[in-house]
Amino acid sequence: MIIFFSGTGNSRFIAEKIAEQTGDKTVDAAYYIRRKKGAHFTDSGPYVFIAPVYVSAPPVPFLQFLRHSAFPAGCPAYFVMTCAGGMAAAPWYCRKLSEEKGFSYMGTVEIDMPQNYLLFFKMHPPSHNREKVKNACTSLDSISDSIHSLTPLPEPAVKKWEIAATRMVLAPYYKHFMSAKGFRATKDCIGCGKCAAACPMSNISMEMHKPSWGSKCIHCMACINLCPKEAIEYGRHTRGKLRYHGPDSLFR
């Protein structure tokens, strides 16, 4: 069973590709996260958890959802992290979660995908992103084979300083930086509601045909990237920057 969390679609895309190869079913964790619920999973596994890297770690709401969910004792657990540079300390968090949940830990791999964090990073044109996604797809065969044959994934060593640095910045980053206060819809907004539908935290409500942002934002960047009119800005950080419309947009 493949359980994924995704903002702009990279992790969903990888989850669906692996599911095609392994014949597994996919579950979108956002369904439960939006309802603030855990789930009760009875399938014997293996379980494949797929999510983006946020600040060198798996997304906190995803980890919390897995913590609050029930799984069969000792089920094999694979972790696949999509990122735009490196998964850094993420394997440490995945291993720790596995110990807490009594999973049989099978390793964590990273898949390099297009950058989506346009507030702070350089965004790339579709041609560059298309190449990245194609390269990512070629690395999936061996991952799917490992899952299919219940073989552990080869995991890179995580440096101690990366773990220490991530543990130090993660909570303050969520508390002080991951705010929706900077978002606003511009005059180009057509009131389609796609930003609200894309938010995995249910943090956007439509008021008088315009989005209004709440206080549960985790900076997943789905709203601002997936708006079909590119009608969302975040303060001055995003003016004139390219948007990433998700992996499916690259192959239309």
Ligand X SMILES: Cc1cc2nc3c(=O)[nH]c(=O)nc-3n(C[C@H](O)[C@H](O)[C@H](O)COP(=O)(O)O)c2cc1C
Count of residues for the chain? 252
Q: How far is the CB of 224 from ligand X (least distance, A)?
A: 10
Position 195 contacts ligand SF4 (CB under 6 A): yes
Residues 125-164: x where in contact with ligand SF4 by CB under 6 A, - otherwise, as a string: ----------------------------------------
> Any bridge partners for residue 81, and if so which?
51, 110
Give the span between the Cα atoms of 152 and 77, in whole angstroms: 9
Helices (H), the chain: 10-22, 30-34, 60-67, 90-101, 126-138, 140-148, 160-176, 194-198, 222-226
**Residue 175 neighbours by CB under 8 Å, 6+ apart:** none
Q: How many residues sit close enough to ligand X to count as binding (CB under 6 A)?
A: 25
147 binds, among ligand SF4, ligand X, none (CB under 5 to 8 A by kind): none
Q: Which is nearer to ligand X, 29 or 83 (CB)?
A: 83
45 binds, among ligand SF4, ligand X, none (CB under 5 to 8 A by kind): none
10 binds, among ligand SF4, ligand X, none (CB under 5 to 8 A by kind): ligand X
208-227 residues near ligand SF4, rule: CB under 6 A: 211, 213, 217-223, 227
- For residue 251, what is the DSSP state? G
> Any bridge partners for residue 76, and if so which?
104
* Contacting range for ligand X; rule: CB under 6 A; set: 82-90, 94-102, 132-140, 144-152: 82-90
Residues 20-49: x where in contact with ligand X by CB under 6 A, - otherwise, as a string: ------------------------------
Give the span between the Cα atoms of 16 and 244, in whole angstroms: 19
Position 17 contacts ligand X (CB under 6 A): no
Give the span between the Cα atoms of 172 and 159, in whole angstroms: 21
Give the span between the Cα atoms of 227 and 33, in whole angstroms: 22
Residues that bind ligand SF4 (CB under 6 A): 7, 180, 185, 189-195, 198-199, 201, 203-204, 211, 213, 217-223, 227, 229, 231-232
